[in-house]
Amino acid sequence: MSDVLTPKLLLRGYASGIFPMAEAREDNNLFWVDPHMRGVMPMDGFHISRSLARRFRRGGFDITADQSFAEVLDGCADRAETWINRPLYRLYLALFEAGQAHSVEIRRDGRLIGGVFGVSLGAAFFGESMFSRATDGSKLALCCLIDRLRQGGFMLFDTQFITPHLASLGAVEIPRDIYRENLARALEHTGDFWALPAAVQPLEVLQRMTQTS
Tens of pLDDT, residue by residue over 24-55, are 778 888 889 999 999 999 999 999 999 999 99
The residue segments making up the domain with residue 140 are 37-81+100-210
Residues sharing a CB contact under 8 Å with residue 176, sequence separation 6 or more, in sequence order: 17, 34, 35, 36, 37, 38
Q: Which residues pair with 7 in a beta bridge?
A: none
Instruction: List the CATH number of the domain containing 193.
Output: 3.40.630.70
In a domain, 88, yes or no: no
What total number of domains does the chain contain? 1
In a domain, 56, yes or no: yes
163 within some domain: yes
**Has residue 52 been placed in a domain?**
yes
In this prediction, residue 26 carries a pLDDT of 80
Residue 1 confidence class, pLDDT cut points 50, 70, 90: low
Q: Do the domain assignments include residue 117?
A: yes
What digits encode the pLDDT tens for the residues 185-213? 999 999 999 999 999 999 999 999 998 53
| Residue 191 CB neighbours (<10 A) | 22
132 inside domain: yes
Overall residue count recorded for the chain in this entry: 213
